[in-house]
Amino acid sequence: MHKSKIYFVGAGPGDPALITLRGAQLLRQADCVIYDGLVNEVLLEDCRPNCECLCVRKRTGEKPFTQEQINQLLVEKAAQYRTVVRLKGGDPGFFGRTAEEIQTCIQGKIDFEVVPGVTAASAAAAYSGLFLTDRQFSSQVLFVTGQEAPDKNESSIDWDFLAGFRGTIAFYMAMSNLEQIAAALLANGKPADTPAAVIQNASLPHQRLVQASLERIAAVCRQEGMEAPAIVLIGPTAVYREETDWFRRRPLAGRTILIARDEEGTRSLSRRLNELGADVLGLPVLAVRNFARTGAADTALTRLGEFDWVVFTSRRGAEFSLQRLAELGKDARAFGRARIACIGPETARALGEYGLRADFIPTTFTGQALAEELSAKEPPAGKKFLLLRSAVAPDDLPKSLQRQGAVVEEVSIYTVEPAELPARLIEPILERLGRRRIDWILFASSSAVSAFLKFVPKETVLKSGAKIASIGPSTTRRLLEEELPAALEAPVHTLEGLTEALIRYHD
């Protein structure tokens, strides 16, 4: 039997992409993850489905675990599981009480490893275009805890030394004591005009930065409502320069976007928009149900070769059908002489993964366009069509083909229906809408519009000031039926088209 091991892993400062490859690999293998409140929970999405994930330091709500309780939990979980990841914000070695937890391992004869991470000060500097050192101005850096108030009798921080330090000082956990910290440095002789910068939520889409002299920094932070978690940088390099601030120049920086799709779709789009700088909230209003294993689908999939055209109108329809075809022990040859039509590049890509190339893709990615453009190429009269698509797809495509004399067979490969959502997912969204803190709501299908309105009242949307972005005409139509006009409709009806349109949009 293998021995259990506890891996102390640095999660990085916030942006989930800043975890190390080693850290990500261990998260995928973990039987149990014990994580802190500052850890981005997106990182847990890649854990195995049965991995037990426990948060020990909530920032709000329930009482946090004491250090003793955390140590106890480590011992318990190491007895229960083989691979335990103790996931900590930033780097485990910076102000994370890792030493105490490792001592617990030693006492309990539990094996351990430590995986470093990007510490908050390093990310705060990088993501605001500052540098912790600079050949010209600062050749030393100090990492200091701001939790020890300078007026505390037994403070172990040498304020006299800090005041005379000619380099950059990075204070962690300093927001509640900022006034006293600045006063102590000034009282010990640090020049009043020493530059200071405070970076809140470093590396996250809602990162904020304020900059002022040491003398004024506490007042400016109070005025601007700066809060923890934040890093306070003090020293000659803490000077903000617009030209090095790449973070705010990203195309969707500063925008808050709400996505209403199914779970997988929400997650993938959210990652993409995040990378472009947007703050993304997801509400998985739709649930996808795969019908490809039903008798009707199987019958159609074993008769593919009998059709003139097999049509896929969505990525999912293609994926589920071809997955099932493979399960039935068949491959691309099952299509025989049938030709393949599909809507959109994502569907084409899904076909490509099974070695199939569409014979026809319309220039506009709608069912209507497919029918029109295909008939312009060759009359559909008398031809046999098989449509493998969603049960809730609009009927303009089959109707149009039938009108022109085609024989159309339709098989529902999947359906999308309103999901069951717990209140804990809906409430924060309603609250953000209520505070007018959402800039865009994105809809990539008409069914998402209907499902969304089951959870969010129309009036809330109207009053929120959020603009609506639609992927294409049938979604826009559905929105209009609800008297929710779209501020933007993607000229190219794909997720990329929608993203591109958002970037281009200017009021």
Indicate which residues carry an active-site annotation.
Answer: 36, 58
Region of 199-207, 300-308, 376-384, 482-490 interacting with ligand SAH (CB under 6 A)? 199-207
- Using alpha carbons, select from 289, 203, 205, 219 the residue that is nearest to residue 254: 205
Interaction between residue 394 and ligand SAH (CB under 6 A)? no
8 in contact with ligand SAH (CB under 6 A)? no
Nearest to 73 by CA among 116, 115, 35: 35
**Which CB sits closer to ligand SAH, 16 or 90?**
90
CB of 162 to ligand SAH, least distance (A): 16
Which residues 14-53 are close enough to bind ligand SAH by CB under 6 A?
14, 38
**DSSP for 86-110?**
EEESB-TTSSS-HHHHHHHHHHTT-
**DSSP 3-state of 279:** strand
Q: Is 172 in the site for ligand SAH (CB under 6 A)?
A: yes
Using the rule CB under 6 A, give the single segment among 161-169, 224-232, 338-346, 351-359 that binds ligand SAH.
224-232
Closer residue to ligand SAH in complex, CB, 90/362: 90
| 229-288 residues near ligand SAH, rule: CB under 6 A | 229-231
Determine, following the binding rule CB under 6 A, whether residue 344 of this chain makes contact with ligand SAH. Answer: no
Identify which of residues 95 and 112 has a Cβ nearer to ligand SAH in the complex.
95
Instruction: Determine, following the binding rule CB under 6 A, whether residue 119 of this chain makes contact with ligand SAH.
Output: yes
Binding residue for ligand SAH, selected from 86, 88, 255, 467, defined by CB under 6 A: 88
Q: Where are the alpha helices (DSSP H) in 435-491?
A: 446-455, 458-464, 473-481
Cβ atoms of 196 and 238 within 8 Å: the answer is yes
Q: Which of 202, 51, 187, 178 is nearest to 122 (CA)?
A: 202
Q: Which of 154, 161, 152, 6 is nearest to 87 (CA)?
A: 6
* Rounded alpha-carbon distances, angstroms, from residue 477 to 451, 460, 471, 480: 15, 20, 11, 5
By CB under 6 A, is residue 221 in contact with ligand SAH? no
Q: Hunting for tokens 């998402």 — which residue is that?
A: 448
CB of 472 to ligand SAH, least distance (A): 37
With beta carbons less than 8 A apart as the criterion, state whether 419 and 286 touch. Answer: yes
- Which residue lies nearer to ligand SAH by CB, 124 or 469? 124
Nearest distance in Å: CB 102, ligand SAH: 14
Backbone CA torsion sign across 468, 473, 479, 484? positive
Return all residues near 420 (Cβ < 8 A) that are at least 6 apart.
287
Q: What is the nearest approach in angstroms of ligand SAH to the Cβ of residue 126?
A: 11
Interface ranges with ligand SAH (CB under 6 A): 13-14, 38, 88-91, 94-96, 119-120, 124, 172-173, 199, 201-204, 228-231
